[in-house]
Structure 1
Amino acid sequence: MEPFVWQEERNGCGLFFIKGWMEKDSGITAGFTSRHGGISGQPFGSLNCGLHVQDIPGHVIGNRELLAHALHTQLRDCTYAEQVHGKEVEVVTEAHVGAGIYSRESAIQAKDAFVTNKMGIFIHALFADCVPLFFYDPAHRAVGLAHAGWRGTVLQIARETIETMRRQFGSRPEQLLAAIGPSIQGCCYEVDEKVISKVREVLNELGADRSSNSANGGGSVYTDIGNGKFKLSLQHLNRQIMIKAGIMQAHIEISSLCTSCRTDLFFSHRKEGGRTGRMAAWIGLYE
């Protein structure tokens, strides 16, 4: 069953919520925006949440405000970051509240993963094909969010996020819930030997094969399609990394929604030639 469930909010925002988590705990919100329900014009139509794509800044801020209101919070309680495809994790505190909402200069700098146990802070990260990774510790009331393109994935940003939650909040990996969100899937993500060589290194380190148990949500990490080209599933590679880091297979949910296949719903940097908007993933704990 698809873990990210579509809902159109009263203010028009089209959002995908991790309904299973939210039904179990009304004190958490987590999900992913679509491209619908905002005020940006083309080619950023319409719910573009990225300030770095040459959209009109006032439109982007207006879209972020619409999102905040749809989540029943205030924009001033949100955080945004300047992501760099790395593996650095920021522990988000009250000092970060409001970071990046109006300008890139004020954002959390050079980070791609974020964790917090503070209520009333809503973490955001931006995507247009890369993989959003969500983490929730119901035992210690802590959450995490990571941005995993191929570089962040092979740097094992998922493991870094889990380890930071363990160190900062006492989180036990076997108690964590994880969700892998809408992103470009193996059906559409073609890469070369340079990328696959890094993927093989990770699989060797994990002691894992490129295939995993499909009965438990697994699948092929990559497929050789000839001429030095491969179809890569960053979703299944991140799943393998999470399992090796101690998260139980049954606690990992994976979206089947492909941002490249579904440009009717999502922005896709690759499918749309780089001239497009950005979705926001979010996670937060209500006070």
Structure 2
Amino acid sequence: MEPFAYEDQSYFLIKNWMEQYPGLVAGITTKKGGSSTGVYENFNLGFHVGDQLEAVCSNRGQLANLIEFPLNSWVGAEQTHDTVIRRIILEDRGKGSDSYESGFKGTDGFYTNEEGILLTLCYADCVPLFFISPKHKMIGAAHAGWKGTVNEIAKKMVEKWGEEGIPPNQIFAVIGPSICGKCYIVNDYVMNFVENTLEDVEKKPYNTIKEGQYTLDLRELNKIILLKAGVPEKNIQMTKLCTSCDKSEFFSHRRDQGKTGRMLSYIGWKETSE
């Protein structure tokens, strides 16, 4: 079953999670409905791609209103395709919400069990990973490009939660919209890292096109890593939405030749009144 449901032209929701867990907000934006122009048309949420700051802030304010989660409660990062994951607390709210400079440096993953915090990360082909452990009210998000994937950022999130007393069988994950296996072509350099990650795995998430050229399914590779980390297969959902194929819906770094906007993944618990 497709985990993402089209809620508004500007965003998809992880609807089944939100129906199961009251107070949860989780999803990813599209490229539609915002204030940006040119190659960033229309709903660019990334500060770092050359768009006008006023347009990005306007788009973020619009999303905050749509999902009813105030902008000063968001947390963002300077993403570097690494595997640094940070635990977020209430005092961190607002960092990276209205400027790139104020975000967490060198960070590609967040997690928290506190209400009133929206964890946000930017994408334009890389794999958005969403995590939840309802029993512990822990939520998380990770940005997995090919480097973050082969360096097992998904496994590192599971390990971080293990340090919090959460076993892998109590973790649920959603693998979000990213470039699909048919659209993502890589070379031997990348495949050497992939093969090291796939040691002892029979079913390979890639196909050979010709010598030195392969199609790679990053989403499937992240699923394999989660399974190897102990997350049960029944706890993992994976989208079929492709950022490169779905030109009307998503920005794509590869398809758009590097000059494009960014979607935003988000997950957070709304504050409840005691």
TM-score, L = length of structure 2: 0.97
Structure 2 partner of 1:105: 101
In 1, the alpha carbon distance for the partners of 2:167 and 2:59 equals 36
Matched, 1:243 2:238: no
Q: 2:241 aligns with which of 257, 263, 272?
A: 257
The answer to whether the aligner puts 1:55 opposite 2:51 as a matched pair is: yes
The CA deviation string for residues 100-125 of structure 1, in whole angstroms up to 9 with x for no partner, is 12222110110101010110000000
1:16: which partner in 2? Answer: 12
**2:208 equivalent among 212, 217, 224:** 224
The answer to whether structure 1 residue 184 and structure 2 residue 179 are counterparts is yes
State the alpha-carbon separation in 2 of the partners of residues 110 and 119 from structure 1. Answer: 24
Q: What RMSD over aligned residues (CA atoms) do the two structures have, in Å?
A: 0.9
Structure 1 segments of 4+ aligned residues over 4 angstroms from their partners = none
CA offsets, 1:5-36, max 9 Å, x none? 1111xxxx521101110111122111110001
Quick check: 1:7 aligned with 2:16?
no
Aligned equivalents of 2:194 and 2:211: distance in 1? 18
Higher mean Cα deviation, 148-157 or 94-103?
A: 94-103
3-state DSSP of counterpart to 1:129 = coil
Opposite residue 3 of structure 1, the aligned amino acid is P
Provide the C-alpha distance between the structure 2 equivalents of 1:163 and 1:63, rounded to a whole number of angstroms.
Answer: 34
Correspondent of 1:208 among 184, 192, 201: 201
**Partner Cα separation in structure 2 for residue 29 and residue 246 of structure 1:** 26
Does structure 2 retain, via aligned residues, the 8 Å contact 1:4–1:19?
Answer: yes
Matched residue SS, 2:38: coil
Task: Give 1:4's aligned amino acid.
Answer: F
Is residue 23 of structure 2 the alignment partner of residue 39 of structure 1?
no
CA contact (8 A) 1:48 1:278 kept: yes
TM-score (normalizing by structure 1): 0.93
- Aligned-pair CA distance for 1:155: 0.4
Q: Which residue of 1 aligns with 2:257?
A: 273
Q: Alignment partner for residue 193 of structure 1, among 180, 188, 195? A: 188
Q: Given the alignment, which residue of 128, 135, 138 partners 1:132?
A: 128
CA distance in structure 2 between the aligned counterparts of 1:258 and 1:33, rounded to whole angstroms: 13
Q: For the residues of structure 2 that align with 1:45 and 1:3, how far apart are their CA atoms?
A: 26
Q: Identity rate of aligned residues, in percent? A: 41
Q: Give the Cα separation in 2 of the matches to 1:171 and 1:122.
A: 21
Instruction: Work out whether residues 40 and 48 of structure 1, in 8 Å CA contact, stay in contact via their aligned partners in 2.
Output: yes
Q: Distance in 2 between matches of 1:73 and 1:203?
A: 39
Shift of 1:166: 2.0
Contact 2:93 2:117 in 1 (8 A): yes
Matched positions, count = 271
Equivalent AA in structure 2 for residue 163 of structure 1? E
Q: Is the 8 Å Cα contact of residues 83 and 111 (structure 1) preserved in structure 2?
A: yes
- One-letter code of the match for 1:178? A
Asked whether the equivalents of residues 10 and 33 of structure 2 are also in contact (C-alpha less than 8 Å), the reply is: yes
* Structure 2 gaps, min length 5: none
Distance 1:221 1:95 in 2: 41
- Give, in whole Å, the separation in 2 of the partners of 1:244 and 1:101: 34
2:166 match: 171
2:131–2:139 contact (8 Å) kept in structure 1: yes
Contact 1:96 1:108 in 2 (8 A): no
2:141 aligns with 145
